[in-house]
């Protein structure tokens, strides 16, 4: 990183900041969909694979909700 230009370093830092924001959004989404069943701290300790599994479960449940016409709470 020390051999990079200032603009490259700034771009790298912006990319890292965006990645951090995306991760926080994903964690908050997990907490919201789990309705308190998972705290933010617990979500924060999950591996990427665990977060991916939960995201798939949420997606599957949303699709089932749409197909059945049942309310999603």
Domain boundaries, the chain: 7-68
CA-based angle 69:70:72, to the nearest 5? 120
What's the rounded Cα separation, in Å, for the pair 24 and 15? 14
* Mean of pLDDT values over 42-53: 95
pLDDT for residue 3: 83
Kindly state the tokens that stand for 69: 């016409």
* Closest CA relative to residue 40, chosen from 19, 24, 21: 24
pLDDT one-digit tens code per residue, 7-45 = 999 999 999 999 999 999 999 999 998 888 999 999 999
């Amino acid at each position: 990183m020390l051999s990079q230009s200032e603009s490259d370093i700034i771009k790298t830092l912006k990319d890292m900041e965006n990645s951090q924001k995306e991760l926080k959004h994903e964690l908050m989404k997990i907490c919201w969909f789990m309705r308190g069943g998972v705290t933010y701290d617990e979500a924060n300790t999950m591996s990427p694979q665990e977060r991916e599994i939960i995201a798939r479960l949420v997606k599957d449940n949303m699709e089932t909700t749409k197909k059945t016409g049942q309310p999603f709470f």
